[in-house]
Amino acid sequence: MLRIICVTVLLLPFIAHAEGQGPQAFKDCSDCPEMAVLPRGSFTMGEPESESQNRKFGWGGPEIKVTIAKPFAMAKTETTRAQFAAFVKATGYVQDGKCRSIWEKRLPDPSKVSWQDPQWPDGSKQKDDEPVVCVSWDDANAYAAWLTKLSGGKHVYALPTEAQFEYGARAGTAAKRPWPGAAEESCKYANVGDKNYLRIIPEYGAIDCDDGYAFTSPVTKFPANAFGLHDMLGNVWEWARDCRAEDLATTPRDGTALEVPPADCKRRVLRSSGYSSAEWYTRTTTRGGDPVTTRLVVLGFRVAASVD
């Protein structure tokens, strides 16, 4: 049985909510993401040094106690292609750089990789209800600023802090993954590096299961956790607000973002894991970091927002 972290509400480990039940939610416009309101609470963030294996491979530690003093909202899903397209159409936003594939040698023209078409190596195309990829940290913040304007200032949108992201991913649980069973059970709950990905990218290690997708999947395809959030592990890696530090030792204990030295603010934290992630990366504590200008076919985002 999973050990349950004490928060201000009673949570079940990993459940989809029935119609009309579950966390409070809001949506500021038809093209805006649906936001779930998360309760205040305390939790243990990170993992022990003994479980790190190797710090450069996504270690998220050491363990620290974090208290989220006020409720906040988080998008129920990763930002979709359709949502990002609505932002681009409304604002005329133009990206100032190219997107990098992770399969350049498999593509006839890697220079054509973009958020409109990530150029999956098997020739398949992304759908509008799948997460947008090829977005930089600055692109994500521009989208969040647009949502704040659409809300009339009622809500201030931003990328989630690293602590907010892990709090949302854990949803009251304390295990490596917010679902029961071994890593091979992951395909029931998330889009991870599985047999489908391995068939196309055979040189890559994969979890021995079948989630039905080689690359991105629709953002509500897999069940929501107890906070009503989808894909907090899997599908795509996601930007967080924090500057990149080697570990969690200097992470604020109040859930705010780390945005001062010794953290490197030219790089920002990445959270979650993705459709290409094998077992080691598919954990609630997994963290990475990239320059703010990075655009990758495995990298997207979701937004958080203030609530009264």
pLDDT of 84 higher than 80 = yes
Helical pair 81-91 and 137-150, crossing angle rounded to 10 deg: 70
- Distance from C-alpha of 306 to C-alpha of 308, rounded to nearest angstrom: 7
The whole-chain average pLDDT of the chain stands at 90
Q: Where does the pLDDT of residue 49 fall: very low under 50, low under 70, confident under 90, or very high at 90 and above?
A: confident
Give percent of the chain above pLDDT 90.
80
User: Which 3 state secondary structure label does DSSP give 143?
Assistant: helix
Of all helices (H) and strands (E), which one includes residue 150? helix 137-150
pLDDT at 5 over 80: no
The residue ranges of every structural domain in the chain are 25-305
Tokens describing residue 120: 């999956």
| 14 or 144, greater pLDDT | 144
**How much is the average pLDDT of 159-177?**
96
Angle in degrees, CA 92, 97, 99, rounded to 5: 105
The pairing of beta strand 35-38 with beta strand 157-158: unpaired
CATH number of this structure's domain 25-305, picked from the four choices 3.40.1350.10, 3.20.20.10, 3.90.1580.10, 3.40.50.300: 3.90.1580.10
Q: Per DSSP, what are the bridge partners of residue 73? A: 37, 305
- For residues 285-307, average pLDDT: 97
Write out pLDDT tens, residues 105-122: 999 999 999 999 999 999
pLDDT given for residue 23 in this prediction: 58
- For the stretch 129-157, pLDDT in tens is 999 999 999 999 999 999 999 999 899 99
pTM greater than 0.75 (yes/no): yes
Residues 6+ apart with CB under 8 A from 89: none
The kind and range of the H/E element at 83 are helix 81-91
Q: Which residue has the higher pLDDT, 189 or 49?
A: 189
Strand partners, 26: 35
Does the structure show a pLDDT above 60 at 14? no
Q: Which residues contact 217 (CB under 8 A, 6 or more apart)?
A: 130, 191, 211, 235, 275
CA distances from 92 to 41, 98, 104, 156, 240 (A): 40, 17, 29, 21, 24
Note the pLDDT tens digit of each residue in 252-268: 999 999 999 889 999 99
pLDDT at residue number 3: 35
